[in-house]
Amino acid sequence: MLAVHRSLGTWMRMVAYYIALTEFARRKFIAGGLPPERIAVKPNFVSLDPGRKDGAGDYAIFLGRLSPEKGVRTLVSAWKQLRLSIPLVIIGEGPSRCELEDRVISCGLRGVSFRGQVSREDALDAVKKARFLVLPSECYENFPMSIAEAFACGTPVICSQLGAMAELVCDGRTGLHFKAQDCVDLAAKCQWAWNHPHELHAMSICARQEYKSRYTAEKNYATLMDIYARAMTKSGNC
């Protein structure tokens, strides 16, 4: 089907505008042959403002699907490398949960707890009480909502230096980057963040500012309406 539409020129003649969630995705679409001038970037957004968290946070948090590509095995391995005990809350379900729970027990990681699937309200509440969120994905990701939600709560993000994640999280400003699949590097970044509350507080402020400047419903609506206007103008000129 893709080959048929390529031969017919569907993607070039019948589509006025494409929307990519990040500049990283936009570059991938361009590399795939789409015209750069027809690809606009509009990120995801957090529809209701959860409000900035109070206090520094009592634990680190992972929020997402428990499956191999999400890097949770690397996360557990990193916790085994830590020189000090950092509480870790893991929220989510998936095919790797039993394996991960067994590994946590076998490694004697007493500060790691699994909460399973929770409501969005409870998840946001947990993110607000966390010192930082860890996003160890080993796949590119498109636009992880957990990043925008963490920023809305004023919670810095420690993420893989990979794809869109490295674009969305500014290293040293709204969080930290680590080498994907590198549990030693991840452990070092988490330990540094836990041991530097003043620097992390500054990142918390920047994360909240990033949300207010880019990821609110109002900002998203304005961006989307601008894309629609450009698309209609382009269609009218065809």
pLDDT of the residue at 9: 67
Contacts of residue 131, defined as CB under 8 A and 6 or more positions apart, other chains included, come to: 56, 57, 58, 59, 60, 155, 193, 194, 200
Residue 118, burial from CB neighbour count under 10 angstroms (0-12, 13-18, 19+): middle
Tell me the percentage of the chain whose pLDDT exceeds 90.
84
- For residue 6, what are its two tokens? 């390529």
Q: What is the chain's alpha carbon radius of gyration, rounded to the nearest angstrom?
A: 20
Q: How sure is the predictor about 5, in pLDDT bands with cuts at 50, 70 and 90?
A: low
For residue 96, the tally of other CB atoms under 10 A from its CB is: 19
Backbone phi, psi, residue 210, to 5°:
-60, -40
Q: Measure the CA–CA gap between 74 and 48, rounded to whole angstroms.
A: 32
d(CA 181, CA 197): 26
User: Whose CA is closest to 27, among 144, 166, 230, 224?
Assistant: 166
Write the CB contacts of 223 (distance below 8 Å, at least 6 apart in sequence).
42
**Full-prediction pTM beyond 0.85?**
yes
Phi, psi at residue 63, to the nearest 5°? -135, 110
Q: How confident is the model at residue 136 (pLDDT cuts 50, 70, 90)?
A: very high
Element (H, E) at 176: strand 175-178
Q: Residue 193's pLDDT is what?
A: 98
Q: What average pLDDT does range 52-64 have in this prediction? A: 95
Instruction: Give, as one character, the DSSP assignment of residue 53.
Output: P
pLDDT of residue 14: 77
Q: 31: which strand partners?
A: none
Calculate the average pLDDT of the chain: 94
